[in-house]
Structure 1
C-alpha cells in the first residue's frame, strides 16, 4: 500500500512544480508583452543599489533594507500585542461579568466594522496627541488593536471547541477558573488556534504597508520615495512585491504544514 502511495505522492509533487513553472512563465510573458506595449525603459541594473552599495570597501545598506527592517519591527511588536489583546478580549467575552462581555463586544463591533485606514487616521490625529505617541507607536498600536479584534474571535472559537467534559472534569477536581484555563483548556485550544492565528500574522504583514500614509518609514514608504526620486515605478514596486512574497510565502507554507499535522492528529 505504501509503495503505491509513494509514486502517487511523487507525481503530485511533480504536477505542482509543473503548474508553478507554467504560472511563472505566464507572468513573465505578460510582463514582456506589457513592456512591448508600453515602450517602457526598464532599468533593472539600478535595483541592487536600492539594497546595498559598496563604497571604499564598506557596505552601505540601501533604503529597501532599512524599510524592510522597520516593517519587520512593526509586524513583530504588533503581533505580540495582537496575541495578548486577542486573548484578553476572548476571555472577557467568555467571562461571567456582564460589563466585561459588553466591553469586549463593543470593542469587536467598533473595530471589525470600520476600515483600518479610518482607524489609523483617528489614532494619529486624535489620540496620539492626547497620549503623546509618535507616529511609529501609533502605527504599532493601531495595527495591534485592529488585528486583535480578529484574533479575539480565533481564541474564542478555539476555547469553545474544547469539549465540555474537560470543563466539568476541571470543576470536579476543584480547579479555579484561572487554573482551568491555564492547565486544561488553553493547552488543548492552542492546537486549534495556532493555524488561523498564523494566518492572522500573514494578514498583519500585508496590512503593515498602510502605515505609509502617516509617513512611517516602512518598506512601502521607502518604495514610494524611491519612485519619486527615480521614476522607476515598475522596477521598484515589482521588487517590493517580491520582498513581501518572500516574507509571506514561508509563513503560508508553515500554516499548511501546521494544519496538515493537526488533521493527522
Structure 2
C-alpha cells in the first residue's frame, strides 16, 4: 500500500511540482476562456446561416460542418500548426490551438444551435415579423433565445468536452495543465503530477457537471 501511495500520491513530489502545475492550470483556464467563446461564436454564425433560403449556401455549410466534425481534433491541430507555415503564415502554438478549436468546436456548437432553432415553432418567427421586426431582429430577439434555452444542456455538455479536449494542446508544446504534469512526471519518474492534474480537472469541471445535471433534470420534469 505504501508503494502505491508513494507512486501516485507523494506529497513531497507534489510540493516540488506544484509551481509548474499551477502555471499549467492557469494556461488551461486561459485557453478555455478563449476557445469556448470562439467556438460559440462560430456555432452561432453557422446556425444562423443554416436558416438561409439559398440552397447552395446550405449545401456549403453542410459540407463545412461534416468535414470539421469528421476530422479528429488532434489531426486538425497538427495540420494548422505545422501546415500554415508552408502557406507563409507563422502562428504561435496558442494561436494554432485557437484556430483548430474554432473550426472543430464551432461545427459542433453550430449543429446544436441549429437543432435548437429548428425546435422553436415557426409561428414564433411569423408572430415577430407581424409585429414589424425584421427577420434578423426576430431571429436575434425572439427565436435564438428560445433556441439556446431548448438546447442549453447540450451546449454545456459540449463545453465540458471542449475544456477537457484542451489537453491535446500538449501536442504542439503549449504548456497547459497536462503538458506540465507530464513534464514533471518525466523529471520525477512519479505519477503524482498526473494525479494532481486529474484532481485539478475535477475541481475545475465538477461545478459545471452538477449544473448540467440540474438542467437535465429540470428539462425532464418540464416534459413530464
Who wins on radius of gyration, i.e. which is larger? 1
- Residue in 2 that maps onto 1:72: 29
Q: How far apart are the structure 2 equivalents of 1:166 and 1:41? A: 56
Q: 1:33 to 1:103 in 2, by over 3 A?
A: farther
Q: 1:263 to 1:40 in 2, by over 3 A?
A: closer
- Residue in 2 that maps onto 1:116: 73
- Residue in 2 that maps onto 1:250: 207
1:209 aligns with 2:163: no
1:221 aligns with 2:179: yes
Q: How far apart are the structure 2 equivalents of 1:167 and 1:104? A: 22
- Give the aligned length: 221
Q: 1:246 to 1:40 in 2, by over 3 A?
A: closer
Q: How far apart are the structure 2 equivalents of 1:108 and 1:133? A: 24
Offset at residue 88 of structure 1 (A)? 0.4
Where relative contact order (Cα < 8 A, 6+ residues apart) is larger, the structure is 2
- Residue in 2 that maps onto 1:43: 10
CA contact (8 A) 1:209 1:219 kept: yes
Q: Alignment partner of 1:131: what SS? A: coil
TM-score w.r.t. the length of structure 1 is 0.77
Offset at residue 141 of structure 1 (A)? 1.7
Q: How far apart are the structure 2 equivalents of 1:205 and 1:183? A: 29
Between 129-138 and 112-121, report the one with greater CA deviation. 129-138
TM-score w.r.t. the length of structure 2 is 0.90
Q: How far apart are the structure 2 equivalents of 1:42 and 1:253? A: 26
- What whole-Å deviation, never above 9, does each CA across 1:198-224 have from its counterpart, x for those lacking one? 111100111100010110011111111
Offset at residue 156 of structure 1 (A)? 0.5
CA contact (8 A) 2:109 2:158 kept: yes
CA RMSD, aligned part only?
2.1
- Residue in 2 that maps onto 1:98: 55
- What whole-Å deviation, never above 9, does each CA across 1:87-113 have from its counterpart, x for those lacking one? 101111121123421221121111111
Q: 1:128 to 1:77 in 2, by over 3 A?
A: farther
Consecutive unaligned residues in structure 2, runs of 5 or more? none
